Each structure stands twice: as structure tokens, then as C-alpha cells.
Amino acid sequence: MSDVKILGIESSCDETAAAVVVNGREVLSNVIYSQVPTHTLYGGVVPEIASRQHVEKINQVIRKALSDADTRLEDLDAIAVTYGPGLVGPLLVGVGAAKAIAYAKNIPLVGVNHIEGHISANYVDNKELVPPFMCLVASGGHSHIVMVKDYGEYEIVGRTHDDAAGEAFDKVARAIGLGYPGGPKVDKIAREGNPHAIEFPRAVVDGCPYDFSFSGLKSAVLNYLNGAEMKHEEINKADVAASFQQAVIDVLTDHTIRAAKDHGMKQVALAGGVAANSGLREALKEAAEANGMKYYNPSMILCTDNGAMIASAGYFEYMKGVRSDITLNANPNLKIGER
């Protein structure tokens, strides 16, 4: 069978990204324009500014992805684009660009779920990974344990009842004065701290052994900081970061391995922005291997938002015959496995 070349477009949050990927696994180009420096000024993503920057950058990013891949629009088999979940304004920019090109050049269009994209990043960096596997997806907006039964076939096994893991990282980082985005900053400073210095809670959700709740942990960190301030005690930021991070890692790892075991999975994968966390990567790998399971994660650059993961997820949808048309719209609340 001849190769299938797909342009993937991503604009759901604060990265404007496009990539060309062959057969869902081989990356020919991967262009990411990060708006992080802009949003850092405001301590978080400002949706209106994000939309505007996507509009300014999207054509440039797509053009560069095509030229880096030495590919013309005519060479593409399909265009895959994130249509949800995410911020509606930013999503509309990518969807609009993809529809315009697909319509003008008569190229098949495939709408892709952002979370399914994160999971698919694993196919790009792990050529031998074939479903079924259990995947922990932890990003700024989502924390799920997803059973990947087959390509493009998902069952949510665990979910968060309140904050996403990345959101907890961002909020704690702000509280200890590290700024936005919090994840990488907490990760870095945690390496100098003692993860057992402060005993923060590991929350479980009654009756839902694979689910998460991070709001209690976040409050515990804030209470600890307020308590120290009232007593005029100096806090050790590295110890707070390390102890908080350890509490998140313990819960994420524990629930994922339990879910994998209970569902008879022999493979475990990690995905989403929080998958870039060095402590989490190590802990999940160690726990998976101790339980006789194979462990996978994407390279750092494919953990956070990018176009290659969208092209990969789009490829498996395309092969199943999924096509979107000119009526494709942004869906900010799109669920995994939903179309």
C-alpha cells in the first residue's frame, strides 16, 4: 500500500503547530510556535490574546511545516485538525485554516480530538507500540486513564473529579512564586528538594479506584504556605515543590498501574503535557516494569501540544474511513471517543 501523508494542525490552547507525518508514525516536519512567553506576562493563558496570535501565526506555521517536509499541498492525502476539546477561539483558527485549505485544494479533512492526539504521540516515538494498552493522559486541562483497545478505540477508565494534574502544578507554582507555566518550573526546583519533607494528602475517590481528585492537595499546599506565613517561618520552596510533586506522582502512578492490572493490560503509556515531568516518567516506568508491563512515553517535544500527534491520530481515523466536511466546527467540550 502506498504511503499516507497527513498535515496535522493544532491550535487548541497556546501553541500554534503544524506537522507532516507519514503513516501516522514518521515525522517529516514538526513546527511549533509557542505563545508561552506572551501568556507568562499574565500568569496564565488569556484566550483572546491566544486567538489573535493563532490568527497571526497559523499560515506561517503551516507553510513552514510543508516546506520543512518538502511537501506540496497536492502531495497530501489528508489534513487533520484539532476541533476539541480546548478554547473555542483558538480552536476555530485551526479549524478555519484546515477547512479553507481542504476546500480550496479538494483534500480530505479529518477532525481530531486533542486528547486522542496526545495519546497518539506515543505511536510516533515508539514504532513498536501497538494497542491494546493503558494510557495515563495528564495535561493542563485533563487527567484521564484511558484504555486504548485498538487504534482510535478508547474507553475512559479513570478521570479527575476536580482539577487536572497540570492545573494543580500551575496553581501550586503560582502560590510558591514560580510563575507560569508551573509544571516545568516545579519539576526543576523539585529536584533540589526532599519529596518526603512535608506529608501532603494522596486523595482517593470513594467507589472509583481509578479516579483522581487534586483540589484537596492544592488546598493542603496553600494551607501549609499560609500557616508558615502566619508563623513568620521561611518556607523551603524546593521541599514544598518536591513534596507536592511526589503526592501527584504517587496517585497518578498507583491508579494507572492498578487500572492496567485489573484490565489485564501488559503495556502502559504516558501522554499529555504533564508527561514531560521527569519524576512521573521515572516513577511510572519503574512501577510498570516492577509489574511485568512494558512502559512507553513520547519524547519531551511531543508531550506538550504539537501538530505531529494530531497528524498521527488523524491517520488512524483516516484509515477507518472517518472524514469531516466543511461543516466541521470547534467543540470546546469534545469527549474522548466522541465524534
CB of 249 to ligand KG4, least distance (A): 10
CB of 2 to ligand KG4, least distance (A): 33
Q: Which is nearer to ligand KG4, 187 or 239 (CB)?
A: 187
Are 50 and 89 in contact by the 8 Å Cβ rule? The answer is yes
**Which of 111, 131, 183, 193 is in the footprint of ligand KG4 by CB under 6 A?**
183
* CB-count exposure of residue 85 (10 Å: 0-12, 13-18, 19+): buried
Are 252 and 138 in contact by the 8 Å Cβ rule? The answer is yes
Strands 294-296 and 267-271: parallel
- What's the CA gap between 276 and 281, in Å, rounded? 7
Scanning the chain, the segments in alpha helix (DSSP H) are 36-40, 47-68, 88-105, 114-125, 165-175, 182-190, 215-230, 237-262, 278-290, 300-303, 307-319
How many residues sit in the footprint of ligand KG4 (CB under 6 A)? 19
* Count of positions (residues) in the chain: 339
State which of positions 137-196 bind Zn ion (CB under 5 A): 139
CB of 174 to ligand KG4, least distance (A): 11
CB of 103 to Zn ion, least distance (A): 27
246 binds Zn ion (CB under 5 A): no
**Which of 169, 224, 315, 316 is in the footprint of ligand KG4 by CB under 6 A?**
169
Are 129 and 297 in contact by the 8 Å Cβ rule? The answer is no
14 binds Zn ion (CB under 5 A): no
Q: Which is nearer to ligand KG4, 170 or 211 (CB)?
A: 170
State which of positions 3-32 bind ligand KG4 (CB under 6 A): 13
**Which of 84, 94, 181, 314 is in the footprint of ligand KG4 by CB under 6 A?**
181
Q: Which is nearer to Zn ion, 163 or 305 (CB)?
A: 305
CB of 248 to ligand KG4, least distance (A): 8
Query: Which entry of ligand KG4, Zn ion, none binds 195, CB below 5 to 8 A by partner kind?
Result: none
State which of positions 187-226 bind ligand KG4 (CB under 6 A): 187
Are 95 and 328 in contact by the 8 Å Cβ rule? The answer is yes
32: helix, coil or strand? strand
State which of positions 272-331 bind ligand KG4 (CB under 6 A): 272-274, 276-277, 304-305
Furthest-apart CA atoms within the chain: distance in Å: 70
Please name which of 326, 315, 322 lies closest in space to residue 339, comparing C-alpha atoms. Answer: 322
**Which of 10, 116, 170, 317 is in the footprint of ligand KG4 by CB under 6 A?**
170
Query: Which entry of Zn ion, ligand KG4, none binds 169, CB below 5 to 8 A by partner kind?
Result: ligand KG4
Q: Which is nearer to ligand KG4, 141 or 337 (CB)?
A: 141
**The three grid cell numbers given for residue 194, joined into one nine-digit string:** 526532599
**Which of 11, 305, 315, 318 is in the footprint of Zn ion by CB under 5 A?**
305
**The three grid cell numbers given for residue 272, joined into one nine-digit string:** 499529555
CB of 188 to ligand KG4, least distance (A): 8
What DSSP string runs through 41-99? TTTS--HHHHHHHHHHHHHHHHHHHHHHTT--GGG-SEEEEEEESS-HHHHHHHHHHHH
140 binds ligand KG4 (CB under 6 A): yes
Q: Which residues of this protein are in contact with ligand KG4, per CB under 6 A? A: 13, 139-141, 166, 169-170, 181-184, 187, 272-274, 276-277, 304-305
